[in-house]
Amino acid sequence: MPNDVTPQIPEQQVLAEQLFEQQFKLSAEVICHAPGRVNLIGDHTDYNDGFVLPAAINYGTTIAASVRVDNLVKVYAHDCEQQINEFSLNDISFDEEMMWSNYVKGTLQALIKRHPEVKGANLVVIGNVPQGAGLSSSASFEIAILKAFTELYQLDLDGVNAALLGQQAENDFVGCNCGIMDQLISAMGQKGHAMLLDCKDLSFEDAPIPDDLTLFIVNSNVRRGLVASAYNLRREQCEAVAKYFEVSALREVTIAQLNAAKEQLEPVLFKRARHVISENARAVATLKALKNNDMATISMAMKESHISLRDDFEVTTKEMDGLVDMIDSVLGTDGGVRMTGGGFGGCVVALVPTAMVEQVKAVVNSRYEKEFGLAPSIYLCIATQGAFR
């Protein structure tokens, strides 16, 4: 996709409908869309029962679908080299070759445990969330599948339960021990708003994003490697500290308790926990600042978040750090910038006053490739509605 073109969801829907007719020689019964997301602040907190502040974005996955009378699922994946995958709901197994199909399989395996009445379907999938960039292409895929089956079979499934099924697919089938943030915001995001989600009890609060702010996302285009294993290791480290304190999750540990135990903890575990505990406080403070339109506080929280993810959690790359520094040099306290998502490559997110967008674009376009040898991709986003909202 060309730099900074805002994709039109209705166009994706028309294409899905047309492709469905070509592939299956019949009309689709439902067309569903689930968005990707950008996390404004609160990374690596969700699986610690903590706080996150994501927004659903206008990049996502669209599915055209029809029911089948048998138990077969036939999927045409337009953006995965136009591959076709076919399997039976009675015999779901991991596919080492067509990796994308595991998201369909894992999601449906989780769904039929809860809704055994579900039968097969014909599906056409189109997505434009950049893959492996930290914008939740996989969660948007899972939630789009769940929304399609919910409509096809009139299931009694709400957004929170759909998110839990999507997470189950990742944890139990795909092999990534992710938290709940990505699936929940894809299902329950609110147009024009970010969502403060409490990952302990799954309660959430929507906070309007001021009209004069643009969600400015830059993909560092660093290829991410071994992400699942590095991610799972971070989670194990957090759990080890929770175990040390004999609590269910790091959410229950205060910074004072952590500091008091510094000498007893391995230095790396201490740093991981310090990130999580401080990041929770920053996410909550950012929600308040967003409501008060207090950009200086947001700016500081995002800056500290990035530093903490870089130095304590160690999930940034030099390219992401470079992007953050160059954008920060333009924004100062008029906006905020940090890495977003799981890390190890992928995107940075900036909250940019719309009047400064051109200036920020100019600095990224003139410096990033020169300094890091990779062309950046810029996405100017708006906060959109989740699939189940």
The residues annotated as belonging to the active site are 182
- Name which of 36 and 120 has its Cβ closer to ligand GLA: 36
For residue 160, with 0-12 CB atoms within 10 Å meaning exposed, 13-18 middle and 19 or more buried, which class applies? middle
Q: Three-state DSSP class for 91?
A: strand
- Name which of 76 and 100 has its Cβ closer to ligand GLA: 100
As measured in angstroms, the least distance from the Cβ of 301 to ligand GLA is 15
Which of 43, 49, 142, 198 touches ligand GLA (CB under 6 A)? 43
Q: Give me 343's structure tokens.
A: 């890390």
Cβ 290 vs Cβ 209: under 8 Å: yes
As measured in angstroms, the least distance from the Cβ of 94 to ligand GLA is 19
Site for ligand GLA in 325-344 (CB under 6 A): 341-342
Which of 121, 152, 181, 387 touches ligand GLA (CB under 6 A)? 181
- Name which of 159 and 341 has its Cβ closer to ligand GLA: 341
Q: Which stretch binds ligand GLA (CB under 6 A): 43-51, 111-119, 120-128, 209-217?
A: 43-51
Whole-angstrom distance, CA of residue 90 vs CA of residue 109: 9
User: Looking at residue 224, what DSSP letter applies?
Assistant: P
Q: Three-state DSSP class for 230?
A: helix
Q: Which stretch binds ligand GLA (CB under 6 A): 7-15, 38-46, 103-111, 153-161?
A: 38-46
Q: Is the dihedral of CA 268, 271, 253, 168 positive or negative?
A: negative
Whole-angstrom distance, CA of residue 313 vs CA of residue 306: 10
As measured in angstroms, the least distance from the Cβ of 43 to ligand GLA is 4
Q: Which stretch binds ligand GLA (CB under 6 A): 91-99, 108-116, 179-187, 206-214?
A: 179-187
Q: Which stretch binds ligand GLA (CB under 6 A): 41-49, 80-88, 255-263, 373-381?
A: 41-49
- Name which of 326 and 349 has its Cβ closer to ligand GLA: 349
As measured in angstroms, the least distance from the Cβ of 182 to ligand GLA is 5
Binding string, 46-85, against ligand GLA, x = CB under 6 A?
xx--------------------------------------
Work out the angle at residue 123's Cα, subtended by the Cα atoms of residues 119 and 126, and round it to the nearest 5 degrees.
Answer: 150
Q: Does 345 bind ligand GLA (CB under 6 A)?
A: no
Residues with Cβ within 8 Å of 155's Cβ and at least 6 positions away in sequence, in order, are 115, 118, 149
As measured in angstroms, the least distance from the Cβ of 45 to ligand GLA is 6
> What is the DSSP code string of 139-176?
HHHHHHHHHHHHHHTT----HHHHHHHHHHIIIIII--
**C-alpha closest to that of 155 among 105, 184, 114, 124:** 114
Residues within the interface to ligand GLA (CB under 6 A): 39, 43-44, 46-47, 178-179, 181-182, 341-342
